[in-house]
Structure 1
């Protein structure tokens, strides 16, 4: 592992579970939360855009505009129980795996 590759690895390791902006060698940038790291790749949880969140509702067979929130305890069957009584919450992140060699810079972002 050369010096620059080791430096990028160390920076990612120091910012594990942080919300970061990653600039790539091609000039593009990606924001996300570092969820994992190995000597070849960095693993990110990347926030979905609004249209992608809507699509995740539809994949789960739910209508996001007519969602009902029930009462009771998660895990108990029947209408009105669990998370809204109907399935799982929508996806808000997607997983992205980037090779460490593609990273040019990393900046920490605030959560707000």
Structure 2
């Protein structure tokens, strides 16, 4: 698959933003409108990786008692990858008033 000049420019822009915000709390908005917050852990050529709490669905029958003891308020954390082509915008997230 050959990338266009615009795709290459966008990729470079995403890499520069990732380099600047590495290990910071960021917010990511995807092309489908969904929004995620977490700590920017790393990035590679095609994706950025964010540490976020794993979400448990209420209908899930799985129960992991040991993990709920480790993080009683937020549940266990996971590393989630977001492909650059699916990201509309991302940047620092400030959840508190300064």
Match of 1:15 among 11, 16, 21: 21
1:78: which partner in 2? none
Aligned residues: 83
Match of 1:99 among 68, 83, 88: 83
Alpha-carbon distance, 1:60 to partner: 4.1
2:64: which partner in 1? 59
How does the TM-score come out when normalised to structure 1? 0.60
3-state DSSP of counterpart to 2:33: coil
3-state DSSP of counterpart to 2:94: coil
- Residue ranges of structure 1 left out of the alignment (5+ in a row): 65-88
**Superposition CA RMSD, Å:** 2.7
Alpha-carbon distance, 1:37 to partner: 0.7
What stretches of structure 1 move > 6 A for 4+ residues in a row? none
How does the TM-score come out when normalised to structure 2? 0.67
Structure with greater Cα Rg: 1
- Residue ranges of structure 2 left out of the alignment (5+ in a row): 1-6
2:3: which partner in 1? none
3-state DSSP of counterpart to 2:15: helix
